[in-house]
Amino acid sequence: MAISDSTARRYELRDPDVRLMLQVRDNDAEAFGELTRRYQNRVLNLLEHLVGRGHQRAEDLTQDVLMRVWRARSTYKPGSKFSTWLFTITNNVASNARRSQARKAEVQVTGSASDSQAGPTLDEMAPAASGSMPVQRVDKQELQDVVRAAVDQLPDRQRLAVLLKSFENASYVDIAEIMDLTPQAVKSLLSRARNNLKELLSPYVRQGTDTSGPDDEPPANGQDPNRQPNSNTPTPN
């Protein structure tokens, strides 16, 4: 779809990152360096979730995204926020990487342990933690790891929608543009993702949020249930 001059001008006025990218279009290397500083870690974080937790692989793909931005500079015309345009490129790179990985998996069914850098799954993490959870509060880092593992188990499209909405605070319209969907379809996708996350996290949350054991709960009348009744205390008939 052709981008009108009025649309391009509107985004240029509203978005400082669009203005930087227009400088990049004019071969301004310093502007490109500034955009890289602003977005490199955000792209890296998305790719770590979208293609696996191998940090080196995600870094390589991040460089691929940035090189695509640089190569596209001469034809750049703003038709959206810069972040929307950039994350559309990121999604395309991630999709290509997953397809390539799937093709390799068909040929090489098994690999050495050193080839896999994925983190533990939610099923692997929860049993290890559940033994101590009833008697101690969940560590903040542990909780973040559990949530991340749950997000990583979502289907690809749900995972991307959650990452963009929750971590990038993207609007439904922006997510729809990045994923080539309608805003209503994005809302439905996020609703399914929330339900799936609730189901994935519910066993862990039930264990982790109960920070006191059953013996730690005070009785309703404030007395020690293990104390023997006083002989002078009248008993009900």
Sign, CA torsion 153/159/162/168: positive
Side-chain half-sphere CA neighbours of 165 within 13 A: 20
Question: Residue 2 pLDDT > 50, yes or no?
Answer: yes
- Does 115 have pLDDT greater than 50? no
Three-class DSSP category at 97: helix
What is the total residue count of the chain?
A: 237
**pLDDT value, residue 30:** 98
| Per-residue pLDDT, 103 | 78
- What's the pLDDT at 162? 96
Q: Are 181 and 189 in contact (CB under 8 A)?
A: yes
Any idea of the CA torsion for 163, 167, 173, 175, to the nearest 10 degrees?
-20
How far is Cα 9 from Cα 18, in angstroms, rounded to an integer? 10
- What is the reported pLDDT for 211? 35
Identical fold, 1-110 and 119-212 = no
Residue 6 has pLDDT above 60, yes or no: yes
Average pLDDT over residues 20-44: 98
Domain definitions of the chain by residue range: 1-110, 119-212
With respect to CATH, is domain 119-212 assigned 1.10.10.10? yes
Under DSSP, is residue 57 helix (H, G, I), strand (E, B) or coil? helix
At 207-232, the pLDDT tens digits run: 544 433 444 444 445 454 444 445 44
The proportion of the chain whose per-residue pLDDT surpasses 70, expressed as a percent, equals: 70
Q: pLDDT band at residue 23, thresholds of 50, 70 and 90?
A: very high
The reply to whether CATH 1.10.1740.10 applies to domain 1-110 is yes
d(C-alpha 221, C-alpha 200), whole Å: 37
Distance in angstroms (rounded) separating the CA atoms of residues 82 and 19 = 9
**pLDDT value of position 107:** 65
| Nearest-angstrom CA–CA distance, 23 and 39 | 16
How would residue 101 be classed by pLDDT, with cut points 50, 70 and 90?
confident
Helix and strand totals (H; E) in the chain: 10, 0
Lowest average pLDDT, out of 56-65, 131-140, 158-167, 170-179, goes to: 131-140
Least confident span in 44-48, 81-85, 142-146, 150-154: 142-146
Q: What is the pLDDT of residue 204?
A: 72
- Tell me, what amino acid is at 77? K
